[in-house]
Structure 1
Amino acid sequence: MDSKLAKACRVLIIDEQVLAQGYIKYSLEELGFRDITYVDKANAALNTIEEEHFDLIVCSYNLKKDQDGYYLYDQLKNSHALPLTTAFIFISADTSSELVHSIIELQPDDFLAKPFSVKDLDKRLSRVLKRKKALLPIYELMDKDDFIRALDAIEEFLTRPEHAEFFPLALKTKGELLLACDRAKDAKEFYFAIINVQPFTWAKLGLVNALIKLDEDEEAEKLILQLAFKPDSQLVAYDLLCGLHVKQQDFESALEAVLMAAEISPRNLRRHRMAINLSRLTHDYETQFEAAKRIVKFAKHSIHDKPQNYINVARAGIDYAMTADEQETAQLVKQANDYIRQFQQAFPKTELQEQMKVVNARLLYLQDEKERARALVEQISEEHYEGQDLEDLLDKAKVFHALGLYDRCQSVLEEIEKRCKHNPEHGELFLRYVRQEKQERADILYSPKELNNNAVDFYQSGQLDDALKTFRQAYSLMPKNPSIALNLLQAIAMKSREQGLSENASNMVRRCILTIENGKLSEEQEERYMKVKSFLEEAV
């Protein structure tokens, strides 16, 4: 270790174990470090990092007191509180596959497995700190978002032979800066040149980003699918694939990609939130419910553990129950109530009276106690939406619609849409979902279950056109429900006897069959399906 570099280095150690702190302190002092600060909690670390600059942060991955190292580093990166000039190193005795995927995802400057020797620490720190020192002027410019000057600086850096050992990192940084400067065409050529010499994974990932910026989506997707088979790039590949499908407005495929990524690295809460937004757009109520439950699970024992998480699970369970049969509805109502109880136990001092009135009104509606539900809703304020959370407002809109208060429903949805337009941080997907809700709830005044029941009545009384229209509405709200798909398929088959299958009807038939064959039917439904399918095959 360079003694001058060590003495000039300000170090922060984040570890809750006294013995670990003592050993790291001893090891650092042996290597010549003198300016060392200690904290044992993530919140204290956040405050300290915001107030002071550190050249090196050594953080335990397994903090437990208020949030662990994973969430701490993730928050530091996403809030831009951690400058590029600061070296960040994780230490942990855990080397599980989950941790390995987390490290690949978070990309700290290094990871050191416990137990480690002073020699091990010397080797790792020397390498990291020399790298930071060499690229310091470039990182300082990047921290100021001065990407044009940073790109000039990296070009000059790459002309100096004495920096040869840092060229791989400098080349990677150059590609990132070309993209940051909106020079996607130059970035594409640069990444191709690198790959022709050596097929670095980082260069392939950079090339994907350049291709997407250039709207060369087909080539980007081919490369992403190749990268998805490699362990070191699988996670990023699925994230890129999700983003590409969102860009193409293929929300079904985007949801599939983000779920694959969430399976690999389940602690990333942003992916679960993305899954919720995408499942709402695709009316995949079961996936929405499961993603909401995962947020509660993985946010526990961290600063992300909030009352809203539990209430959102209850809300997602109610959304799901609105489309389920009686037996499933009873189970989902029970699970929703379980999460409400968990919230009340975990946050006994939190008062969310109005939000709970809405949730309870929706639960009463599900249990056919509409008068009691309406009585609760009458206690809800019609104004003063400004300070209310968007999820709270969205839940209000849903209960208003269910109880026939359509004007109030639309008024709330308009308020949400207005806020989303003025505050882009809510995200394009959420805004798109709100607009979809607004349109659907204006066009369709019945609940999914009511639509299906009405359609069955139309069908049985021979009103085939009304039955088809109503089954289509039900299916638009419940595209994952095999029972609804079967009912619609049967109505289409009956109609085709009169006038054959149109192109639109044929497309709908294919969608219904896909839903049915990916779902579960009762024996009676299975028998009915085979007859309808056989008839349609003959008709075609």
Structure 2
Amino acid sequence: MQENSNLTVLVVDPNPGMRGSLQNMLNQAGISKIDYVVSSGTAIKQLAKKSYDIILCEYDLGSASDDGQDGQQLLEDLRHHQLIGLLTIFIMITSEGVYSKVVSAAELTPTGYILKPFTVDMLSARIMRAIERRRAFIPAYQLIGQGNLREAIKACAAAGAEHPPYALDFARLRAELHVSLNELAQAETLYSEVLAVKPIGWAGLGLARTLFAQDRQAEAESLLVKLVSDNPKLMAAYDLLARCHEHNGSPVSAQRILEDAVAISPHMVRRLRKLGEVALEAGDAAAAEKSFKQVVAKARYSEFRDPEDHVNLVKALIKKGDPVQAGGVIRDLEKSMRGNPSLDACKAISAALLHESAGNSAGATDELNAAVLAMRTCPALSANLRIGLARSCLANKLDKEASEVMLSAMNDGASGISMQQAISVFVKAGRPDLADGIGAQLKAQAQELLNVAGEKTSMGDFKGAVQTLLEARRMAPGNMAVMVAAAKAMLRQLGELGWDHPLAEQCDGVIDTIRKLDAAHASLLQLNDDYINAKRKYGISA
């Protein structure tokens, strides 16, 4: 029992009797550092403040859950928002009937389950098995934490052979690491090998994802259709299948698939939000309104609420022809999101849409100018909202403002907007002249950054030079001079400041991109030799 005394536990259960029972059992097992929460919402708040070794979570959170989530959906939120790490043990407490429904279908599986009713000895044994499993994974997790993903893959392969009960878990982690390194063929092989032994949902889903990422949509779609048929509650399979249909230009089909998913699992906000977006794209304003209303309602007391959901609801209502209700949503946005840094931009964009629908071009112009002004101090706006703002500016002849919106998005690495996406906004609006202007400005900025990086290198600021060149590469992703300079700067940093696993992986990726674009490039051979020599210098296998 002494080895349990330092373990910290969070119990998530709405039933006070069960919480008391769990406290007694944990105390008997030598565990006294215990905190309690009664719902998914309170669990999220607590885990944002403090980490735990173990989370014991009731699957059926019942009416105490303010957003209607069950334990599985809570786990998905915690993993999605990275509120729990690899070392956290998450044990689901379920009835036998629930276990049989979720164990083969859940994409994000808990560390383990414990079936009710159970004794203190059963709970203690389950915790000990989870700790033993974590102990087997610690070497791989430590390498991942250091950013040394290739060594982590090797560690997983060795540990899988050393710990046969966890062989499938290690195979899954290996495949996910290959995906992180964009080594999709290797991941595909691993998932296929697992499926050849056992038809596991997560392996089928992983294989479908690698196929989709390799632009093999037809194969991915065929596999996903079978997955959904065999595992009707493998919710992430519906999400990816909908993406396949979206990619093929079929938003109506994507909407139907997501509606099927929501009918099975109605409380996942991210899926409801996506359904609303797809419904808008498909022209189904009523379905979009329904979805976004649910999103706004469910997220009202959530730590993850987003004022952009109100903007989307306004879009749906305007498309449906209900400006009165849209105005009410804008008032609710201002009231419920007070203090949110995105509020001013979202409120102005929503008001501009309302003015546009009423034919009030002067009012729309004023609000669009206000939105652009607010955007300057609010970098958190999504790519879709920025693109929509730029399109509205173009439609209202605010060319300068539209260019500013897209240029700021390109200068924000977190926006995820590529140069090609930014330029296509202007091309589709019939303004190739503005597209050319954006391209020229980005190239000029990249050249300026090249010069800045050179100055930083000469001053011995090797890390600063690398960061500057990575920023230049994002602005001009196809610029060979920038890529070569970035690779050289990374190699210089490795040589001067010591080995850095994530930086080395990034450098290897840049060199590989140069090789794919121009296998005969004059600098390629030297870059490759310098990379191999850097690995040898630090005793790393080349």
Count, aligned residues: 422
Identify unmatched segments of 5+ residues in structure 2. Answer: 432-542
Given the alignment of the two structures, is residue 412 of structure 1 paired with residue 401 of structure 2, yes or no?
Answer: yes
Matched residue type, 2:22: I
CA contact (8 A) 2:391 2:402 kept: no
CA contact (8 A) 2:38 2:65 kept: no
Within-5 A mapping of 1:183-198: 183-198=183-198
Within-5 A mapping of 1:448-487: none
Equivalent residue in structure 2 for 1:29, among 15, 27, 30: 27
Q: Secondary structure at the match of 1:229?
A: helix
Matched residue type, 2:302: S
1:245 is displaced (CA, Å) by 4.5
The corresponding residue for 1:152 is: 154
Q: CA–CA distance in 2 between the matches of 1:250 and 1:277?
A: 13
Q: CA–CA distance in 1 between the matches of 2:333 and 2:230?
A: 40
Equivalent residue in structure 1 for 2:53, among 52, 55, 76: 55
Identify unmatched segments of 5+ residues in structure 1. Answer: 322-328, 444-540
Within-5 A mapping of 1:237-252: 237-245=237-245
Within-5 A mapping of 1:61-140: 62=61, 64=65, 73-91=75-93, 100=102, 104-112=106-114, 116-140=118-142
Matched residue type, 1:414: S
1:187 is displaced (CA, Å) by 3.2
CA contact (8 A) 1:280 1:288 kept: yes
Matched residue type, 2:411: H
1:109 is displaced (CA, Å) by 2.1
Larger deviation, residues 46-55 vs 270-279: 46-55
Q: CA–CA distance in 2 between the matches of 1:439 and 1:287?
A: 30
Deviations 1:342-387 (A, max 9, x none): 446646888967865664565455456x488479759958756402
CA contact (8 A) 2:391 2:425 kept: no
* RMSD between superposed Cα atoms in Å: 4.5
The corresponding residue for 1:333 is: 323
Q: CA–CA distance in 2 between the matches of 1:250 and 1:302?
A: 32
Q: CA–CA distance in 2 between the matches of 1:166 and 1:378?
A: 56
Q: CA–CA distance in 2 between the matches of 1:101 and 1:296?
A: 30
Within-5 A mapping of 1:268-307: 268-279=268-279, 285-305=285-305, 307=307
The corresponding residue for 1:387 is: 377
The corresponding residue for 1:423 is: 412
Flag the 1:117–1:297 CA change in 2: closer, same or farther, 3 A.
farther
Q: CA–CA distance in 2 between the matches of 1:94 and 1:337?
A: 49
The corresponding residue for 2:211 is: 211
TM-score, length-scaled by structure 1 = 0.63
Higher Rg of the two aligned structures: 1
Flag the 1:154–1:415 CA change in 2: closer, same or farther, 3 A.
same
Q: Secondary structure at the match of 1:303?
A: coil
Flag the 1:260–1:338 CA change in 2: closer, same or farther, 3 A.
same
Deviations 1:92-135 (A, max 9, x none): 789889x9599825422234566654355335334333322232
CA contact (8 A) 2:251 2:281 kept: yes
The corresponding residue for 2:480 is: none
1:157 is displaced (CA, Å) by 1.8
CA contact (8 A) 1:361 1:372 kept: no
Q: Secondary structure at the match of 1:11?
A: strand
Q: CA–CA distance in 2 between the matches of 1:105 and 1:120?
A: 26
Flag the 1:125–1:438 CA change in 2: closer, same or farther, 3 A.
same
CA contact (8 A) 1:6 1:31 kept: yes
The corresponding residue for 1:165 is: 165
Deviations 1:135-166 (A, max 9, x none): 22223333444321122112222333xx2322
Flag the 1:426–1:67 CA change in 2: closer, same or farther, 3 A.
farther
Q: CA–CA distance in 1 between the matches of 2:179 and 2:386?
A: 38
The corresponding residue for 1:456 is: none
Flag the 1:17–1:65 CA change in 2: closer, same or farther, 3 A.
farther
1:399 is displaced (CA, Å) by 6.6
Deviations 1:285-334 (A, max 9, x none): 4554343223113213322345553344123312x14xxxxxxx2xx223
The corresponding residue for 2:456 is: none
Flag the 1:281–1:4 CA change in 2: closer, same or farther, 3 A.
same
1:229 is displaced (CA, Å) by 0.5
Q: CA–CA distance in 2 between the matches of 1:56 and 1:9?
A: 8
Flag the 1:78–1:355 CA change in 2: closer, same or farther, 3 A.
closer
1:441 is displaced (CA, Å) by 4.8
Q: Secondary structure at the match of 2:377?
A: coil
Q: CA–CA distance in 2 between the matches of 1:358 and 1:52?
A: 37
Flag the 1:40–1:102 CA change in 2: closer, same or farther, 3 A.
farther
TM-score, length-scaled by structure 2 = 0.63
